[in-house]
């Protein structure tokens, strides 16, 4: 790389001055989910302007060739924060790995050096239950508990995540490490106005433009606090997005540059803008932070400091490992692994691929058939052996219903790994199996376009062709549920479980659905079968708790509820269910202490997600039993405001207003209850509500 002598000298002098103050520097780590470099105008002016991120690049180093090691959120962030790849830490998929605590990580390292540490993440993939919270004083993962619509998913918008981070930052008076993760560019692309209109033909870019504006608020707040001049800024993404390249619409399936090429910008006091062409990767971030902040670098890290490149020097090139294991872990496909070395990219699969990235960065021409790839395969094997973890250091795999539901909507799956084959052939190559993935994506699009019949047909065809394609069963079941076809929903899950009796996700989803349909005996039977396959599952335990509770076995119910909460202590739904359980137990036993216990669980649920109407309804019941009717009414009104079609708080309000003498409101809620129930109302319910209405008229 060439630089003018004057610029190079200035860099060396300024970085030298900055390093003398390294011990005083804060660290801001920004990760923007699913962000392609070419959507930042500092990389390419083709699509939009991103002035806030550009402002970082204007006073730091922009790395033109930075790479993720996996096209998935949890593995990539684990790679960044631990400084090693999944070959060492074992987290190679979303939702079914727990980050091992025995490894050094960035938060623990900075906390030990006296930093306040705060993390603010925006989606379930980075929930604290997966272990990235270790070392953070505050790990804020307060995203909504439920998706807004079918095939959608819960996320916290950038403005809300930034606001939470700014609240923490304002209280810091010493050195701090802030990690902020913004999820918005992830599919489906739905930017708020004015970006939805401005980018009507390119909603993905609209999401990026929105995130850029929100980051501006963060950067301005740091500047107003007087700390821009004493902060190290690092901005990257976990992976990119295919947007149709190589036949992939989003990410996680392949490992082409569309999904593993990522932006990387490093800015620090005294730096002058430069562009770095050397190939670097996510695991280089941790050792670079240690170097630039004057901290001892843990010897176990596989990455290397970027300081020489920041000083305008070169650095000895080393192979960069990458993987895409979603198909291997969940579809019986061949594993996809590879490396980038010497300007070449080798993809090891039954149909091997080799690309000249210097001249063909978009990977249009596969050179493998005209090249002796044995040497590349040998280098890959050596790299994997060197980076592998010591015995016993692998992450603990886990799955739960919430994981399956939320990650399914992200286009991922969370079933336990399919037993690997001894050998793989061309039929197992991800490129060969791509049409099945494309059918699933198309089925989802048809559902969103209000063409459910076409979506159902496509999914049924997919299931017929691939009975082990569990995501097709899950998506079809959800589609039936959204149409109000609850028998078809349950039947589809049963088919999936019968066709895949060793698949934890299918078996557990079927068992949970049985409990939701109040088929408790069969549900308990199926859920215990699921626990045989995998016994550390929060939502299976929670569903068993609910089933035993409704059957009247409160002691056994409590055992499973406590197990669920132990696995996911911050889960809003589990906390809310525990609150309702204690209210019911208190009523049954006439024990006011049980009702008192419920308040803590309800409050924990609301603190995580205040939008859950069922929790407000349950809290209202607790207040009513405790003798505070006014608080009860306030909670039930809140529940109805959140979900106008939720019948229980409407009925509760009818009773409560009648009790307080407000017969007009009581009668209105009786009528609303009848409207909500419609033809589904039972004769007993109708007699009950008509009796209440008669009392209101007297």
20, pLDDT greater than 70:
no
Report the 10 Å Cβ neighbour count for 396.
Answer: 13
Mean pLDDT value across residues 467-473: 83
Instruction: Select the more confidently predicted residue: 347 or 682.
Output: 347
Report the DSSP pairing between strands 176-182 and 116-120: parallel
| 403 DSSP 8-state letter | H
Return the number of other C-beta atoms located less than 10 Å from residue 592's C-beta: 12
Per residue in 218-232, pLDDT tens? 999 999 999 999 999
Could you give the count of Cα atoms lying within 13 Å of 542 in the half-sphere of its Cβ?
25
- The domains of the chain, with CATH numbers, are 5-315 (3.40.720.10)
Lowest mean pLDDT segment, chosen from 191-205, 366-380, 494-508: 494-508
For residue 79 the two structure tokens come to 């790679």
Predicted model pTM = 0.85
Residue 504: is its pLDDT beyond 80?
A: no
**What pLDDT score was predicted for residue 412?**
43
Tell me the CB-side half-sphere exposure of residue 687, using CA atoms within 13 A. Answer: 3
Query: In degrees, to the nearest 5, what angle opens at C-alpha 274 toward C-alphas 78 and 52?
Result: 65
pLDDT score recorded for residue 503: 75
pLDDT average, residue stretch 417-426: 69
Are residues 13 and 312 in contact, defined by beta-carbon separation less than 8 angstroms?
A: no
User: Which one-letter DSSP state was computed for residue 126?
Assistant: G
Helix and strand numbers (H, E) in the chain are 29, 15
Residue 620 in tokens: 């209202």
| pLDDT exceeds cutoff 70 at 63 | yes
Is omega for the bond preceding 125 within 30 degrees of 0, making it cis? no
Least confident of 332-346, 420-434, 606-620, 639-653: 420-434
Q: Choose the weakest-confidence range: 423-432, 534-543, 657-666.
A: 534-543
Report residue 685 as tokens.
Answer: 């319910």
- Residue 392 is predicted with a pLDDT of 45
Q: Judge whether residue 594 has pLDDT over 60.
A: yes
β-sheet bridge partners, residue 231: 26
Query: Can you tell me whether residue 337 is helix, strand or coil?
Result: strand
State yes or no: pLDDT of 663 exceeds 50: yes
> What contacts 614, CB < 8 A, 6 or more positions away?
576, 580, 639, 646
> How far is 286 from 109, CA to CA, in rounded Å?
10
- Span 138-182, pLDDT tens digits: 999 988 877 655 555 678 999 999 999 999 999 999 999 999 999
Q: Tens digits of per-residue pLDDT, 355-387?
A: 999 999 999 999 999 999 999 999 999 999 999
Residue 425 has pLDDT above 80, yes or no: yes
Which residues, in sequence order, are bridge partners of residue 232? 27
Tell whether the model's pLDDT for residue 314 goes beyond 50.
yes
- pLDDT for 536: 73
Hey, CA dihedral for 631, 635, 640, 642, is it positive or negative? positive
Confidence at residue 537, expressed as pLDDT on a 0 to 100 scale? 78
pLDDT at 690 over 80: yes
**pLDDT greater than 60 at residue 396:** no
Q: How far apart are the first and last CA of the chain?
A: 89
Q: Round to whole Å and give the CA distance between 85 and 201.
A: 37
Task: Supply the mean pLDDT for the chain.
Answer: 90
Query: Which residue, among 182, 160, 170, 242, has the nearest Cα to 50 in the 3D structure?
Result: 182
The pLDDT value recorded for residue 122 is 96
Give percent of the chain above pLDDT 90: 77
Reference 401, options 513, 266, 316; nearest CA is 513
CB-based contact 64:276 (threshold 8 Å): yes
d(CA 264, CA 64): 8
Query: How many whole angstroms separate alpha carbon 565 and alpha carbon 576?
Result: 11
- Average pLDDT, stretch 202-217? 98
Confidence of residue 389 (pLDDT cuts 50, 70, 90): low
Mean of the pLDDT values across residues 639-664? 94
Tens-place pLDDT, residues 76-119: 999 999 999 999 999 998 877 789 888 999 999 999 999 999 99
pLDDT at site 151:
53
Can you say how many angstroms the Cα of residue 503 is from the centroid of all Cα atoms in its chain? 22
**Rounded distance between C-alpha atoms, residue 510 and residue 512, angstroms:** 6
Q: What is the pLDDT of residues 234-291, one digit of tens each?
A: 999 999 999 999 999 999 999 999 999 999 999 999 898 999 999 999 999 999 999 9
Strand (E) or helix (H) holding 54: helix 51-57
Rounded distance, CA 670 to CA 696, Å?
A: 9
Cα angle for residues 40, 43, 46 (degrees, 5° grid):
70
Q: Which residues have CB under 8 Å from 128's CB, separation 6+?
A: 139, 141, 570
Pairwise CA distance, residues 49 & 189, whole Å: 18
């Amino acid at each position: 790389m060439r630089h003018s002598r004057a610029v190079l000298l200035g860099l060396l002098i300024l970085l030298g001055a900055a390093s003398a103050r390294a011990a005083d520097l804060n660290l801001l780590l920004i990760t923007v989910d699913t962000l392609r470099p070419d959507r930042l105008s500092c990389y390419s002016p083709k699509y939009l302007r991103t002035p806030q991120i550009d402002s970082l690049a204007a006073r730091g180093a922009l790395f033109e060739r930075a790479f993720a090691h996996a096209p998935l959120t949890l593995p990539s962030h684990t790679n960044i924060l631990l400084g090693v790849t999944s070959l060492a830490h074992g987290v190679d998929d979303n939702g079914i790995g727990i980050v091992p605590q025995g490894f050094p990580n960035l938060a623990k390292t900075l906390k030990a050096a006296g930093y306040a540490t705060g993390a603010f993440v925006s989606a379930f993939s980075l929930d604290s239950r997966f272990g990235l919270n270790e070392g953070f004083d505050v790990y804020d993962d307060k995203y909504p508990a439920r998706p807004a619509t079918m095939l959608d998913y819960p996320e916290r918008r950038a403005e809300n995540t930034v606001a939470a981070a700014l609240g923490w930052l304002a209280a810091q008076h010493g050195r701090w490490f802030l990690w902020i993760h913004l999820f918005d560019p992830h599919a489906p692309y739905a930017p708020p106005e004015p970006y939805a209109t401005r980018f009507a033909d390119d909603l993905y870019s609209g999401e990026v433009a929105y995130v850029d504006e929100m980051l501006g608020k963060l950067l301005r707040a740091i500047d107003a606090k007087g700390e821009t001049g004493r902060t190290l800024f690092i901005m990257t993404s976990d992976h990119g997005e295919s947007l149709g390249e190589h036949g992939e619409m989003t990410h996680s399936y392949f490992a082409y540059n569309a999904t593993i090429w990522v932006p990387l910008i490093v800015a620090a006091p005294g730096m002058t803008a430069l562009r770095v062409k050397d190939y670097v990767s996510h695991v280089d971030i941790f050792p670079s932070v240690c170097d630039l902040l004057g901290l001892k670098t843990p010897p176990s890290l596989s990455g290397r400091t970027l300081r020489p490149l920041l000083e305008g020097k070169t650095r000895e090139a080393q192979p960069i490992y990458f993987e895409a294991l979603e198909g291997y872990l969940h579809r019986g496909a061949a594993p996809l692994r590879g490396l980038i070395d010497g300007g070449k990219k080798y993809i090891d699969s039954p149909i091997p691929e080799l690309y000249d990235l210097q001249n063909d960065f978009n990977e249009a021409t596969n050179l493998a058939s005209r090249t002796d790839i044995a040497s590349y395969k040998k280098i890959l094997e050596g790299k994997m052996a060197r980076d592998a973890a010591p015995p016993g250091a692998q992450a603990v795999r886990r799955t739960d219903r919430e994981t399956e539901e939320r990650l399914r909507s992200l286009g991922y799956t969370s079933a336990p790994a399919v037993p690997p084959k001894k050998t793989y052939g061309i039929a197992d190559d991800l490129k060969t199996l791509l049409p099945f993935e494309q059918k699933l994506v198309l089925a989802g699009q048809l559902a969103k376009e209000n063409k459910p019949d076409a979506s159902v047909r496509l999914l049924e065809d997919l299931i017929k062709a691939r009975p082990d394609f569990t995501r097709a069963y899950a998506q079809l079941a959800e589609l039936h549920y959204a149409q109000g076809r609850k028998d078809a929903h349950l039947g589809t899950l049963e088919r999936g479980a019968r066709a895949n009796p060793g698949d934890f996700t299918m078996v557990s989803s079927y068992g949970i659905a049985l409990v939701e349909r109040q088929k408790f005996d069969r549900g308990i039977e199926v859920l215990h079968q699921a626990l045989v396959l995998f016994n550390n599952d929060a939502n299976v335990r929670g569903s068993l708790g609910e089933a035993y509770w409704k059957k009247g076995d409160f002691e056994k119910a409590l055992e499973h509820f406590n197990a669920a909460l132990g696995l996911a202590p911050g889960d809003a739904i589990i906390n809310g269910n525990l609150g309702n359980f204690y209210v019911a137990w208190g009523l049954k036993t006439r024990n006011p202490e049980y009702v008192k216990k419920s308040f803590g669980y309800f409050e924990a649920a609301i603190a995580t997600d205040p939008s859950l109407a069922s929790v407000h309804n349950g809290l209202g019941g607790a207040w009513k039993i405790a003798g505070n009717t006014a608080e009860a009414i306030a909670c039930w009104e809140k529940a109805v405001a959140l979900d106008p079609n939720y019948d229980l708080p409407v009925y509760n309000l009818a009773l409560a207003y009648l009790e307080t003498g407000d017969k007009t409101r009581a009668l209105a809620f009786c009528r609303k209850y009848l409207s909500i129930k419609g033809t589904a109302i039972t004769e007993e319910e109708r007699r009950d509500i008509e009796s209440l209405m008669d009392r209101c008229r007297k």
